[in-house]
Amino acid sequence: MTHILRIDASARRAGSVSRDLTDQIITQMGAATVTTRDLATGIPLLEEAWIGANFTPADQRTPEQAATLALSDTLVAEIKAADTLVIGVPIYNFGVPAALKAWVDQVARAGVTFQYSETGPKGLLEGKRAVLVIASGGTESGSDIDFATNYMRHVLGFIGITAIDVVTADRLMVDADAAMKTAQDQIGALAA
């Protein structure tokens, strides 16, 4: 059975290209289970209490520290339960939306989703697939001014997810028809 974790990072619910394309991908994949995490509802930023709780060994955390990490634990559990992540990534001001960066901060945890070794960091969430749905008004995906696509590839690889497909609907304000045709072609080429 396929379990997809859908992550929507667009602040727009209606008229969002990344959400619409994500819908299409999930329909095409025909997953048995889809868990949705809508980041537009808000993800807390890291603060001092979170850092302190995260770096306290789990068996020594106070009830307050455990409560501070509860959302992070839930977000990590969602990734662990999924076979595939489908992440809608609109490019805002050349990078990822702040809510998506906050999600990354909540899930990139030493000893939980990655660990350090003599040879460097090693991701602990191997054997999963990710599909990034990149949408932008003017930024060309993969260009020198696209700080979102490679960032997301790197972050996912850092936590062990290296099988990554990218669907792009970029430069929508320049040529929407061409951008959407490219995205449709890429969706059609995705193996379920």
Q: Tell me the residue ranges of DSSP E strands in 10-128.
A: 33-38, 84-90, 114-117, 120-123
Report yes or no: 58 and 27 within 8 Å, Cβ to Cβ.
Answer: no
- How far is residue 68's CA from residue 120's CA, in Å, rounded to a whole number? 28
The two tokens of residue 21 are: 């394309």
- The string over 131-143, giving b where at least 16 C-beta atoms fall within 10 Å of a residue's C-beta and e elsewhere, is bbbbbbeebbbee
Residue numbers in the known binding site for FMN are 10, 16-18
Structural tokens at position 171: 């430069």
Pair 145, 94: CB distance under 8 Å:
yes
User: Which residues make up each annotated binding site?
Assistant: 10, 16-18
Going 67 to 111 to 99 to 19, the CA torsion angle's sign is negative
Question: What sign for the dihedral angle of Cα 6, 15, 92, 163?
Answer: positive
